[in-house]
Amino acid sequence: MSGSNICVFGASSNRIDKKYFDAAFEVGRLIASRGFGLVFGAGDSGLMGAAARGAFSERGRIIGVIPEKLNKKGIYFEGCTERIETPTMHERKAMMERLSGGFIALAGGFGTIEELMEVLTLKQLSYIDPAIVLLNTDGYYDDLIAMLEKTMAEGFTHKDFRSLFFAASTPEEAVEYCVSYKGSDIPDKLVYALRT
């Protein structure tokens, strides 16, 4: 994997099953134990906070990126090695993308899925080439994966783009995929468009 940081997207909600918190904590712990920095949305709550606590348990580098509107005591994780404030959510995502060589989507809602779709699209267009992993804890992402595969089956997305992401069943699989990622050899979407 190029770069020394892995970015984690995940829910900010605390009203979710413990299995998701356990997986998030373990992802953060494994990232730190392998010597990589954790980049995340700086939040103290939900799976963001759990991943940060996992990295903190291994004394890892923890880089929180948070928009100005949310950069308030009680919202951000106080154990960050570095906390970067951005003017907007858009600039927050751009900063996380610049800092990271790999991305792991933990279970999450609208925001997590939106962040995942953005990095998938940027990779499809060859703006970035990171490892992208869906941590499919207890089948959480089964329906989303099926929807993405439907876009390929019906011709909306070229079947070669299935390799843009990897679905992992465990935190160990997710982190190992990022660590061992060597880059993709898929032509960008424009190349496919010009062929038709």
Element (H, E) at 127: none
Alpha-carbon span 100 to 65, nearest angstrom? 12
Alpha-carbon span 135 to 112, nearest angstrom? 12
pLDDT at residue 194 greater than cutoff 90? no
Identify the pLDDT of residue 185.
Answer: 80
How many domains in the chain? 1
Alpha-carbon span 104 to 123, nearest angstrom? 14
Alpha-carbon span 58 to 11, nearest angstrom? 22
pLDDT band at 188 (very low <50, low <70, confident <90, very high): low
Give the pLDDT mean for 72-76: 92
Q: Which of 118, 134, 131 is nearest to 183 (CA)?
A: 131
pTM for the structure as a whole: 0.94
**Strand order in 131-135's β-sheet?**
82-86, 62-67, 37-40, 5-9, 102-105, 131-135, 166-168
Range of the domain at 77: 5-195
Q: What is the pLDDT of residues 12-29, one digit of tens each?
A: 999 999 999 999 999 999
Give the pLDDT mean for 125-131: 94
Alpha-carbon span 100 to 141, nearest angstrom? 22
Residue 75: CATH number of its domain: 3.40.50.450
Identify the pLDDT of residue 195.
Answer: 58
Location of structure tokens 């709550």: 45
pLDDT band at 186 (very low <50, low <70, confident <90, very high): confident
pLDDT band at 190 (very low <50, low <70, confident <90, very high): low
Share of the chain above pLDDT 90, in %: 91
pLDDT band at 184 (very low <50, low <70, confident <90, very high): confident
Count CB neighbours of 89 within 10 A.
16
